[in-house]
Amino acid sequence: MTNAPAPVFDRRMLEALICPSTHATLEYDADRQELISRPAGLAFPIRDGIPVMLIDEARRLD
């Protein structure tokens, strides 16, 4: 049984994704595997290479 590497987020997706709250563009944080919406003050997680664009799942920025 081999451990497959985790799927990588395709940065080209950033062109199509916007914040569900403010409709602003997003920044990619590769270290934390999140998409950041500064206007909304939210960070959306990327799980298994897939952005989770649900406000309830987002982390509040400090």
**pLDDT tens figures, 19-61:** 999 999 999 999 999 999 999 999 999 999 899 999 999 999 9
Range of the domain at 22: 11-60
* DSSP β-bridge partners for residue 61: none
- Establish if 1 belongs to a structural domain: no
What's the total number of domains in the chain? 1
- Establish if 2 belongs to a structural domain: no
Q: What would the pLDDT profile of 16-25 be if each residue is shown by its tens digit?
A: 899 999 999 9
Any alpha helices (H) in the chain, and if so which ranges? Answer: none
Q: What angle do CA 11, 22, 29 make, to 5 degrees?
A: 30
Q: What is the CATH number of the domain that holds 26?
A: 2.20.25.10
- Establish if 40 belongs to a structural domain: yes
| 13 or 4, higher pLDDT | 13
pLDDT of residue 4: 67
* CB of 18 closer than 8 Å to CB of 25: yes
- Establish if 20 belongs to a structural domain: yes
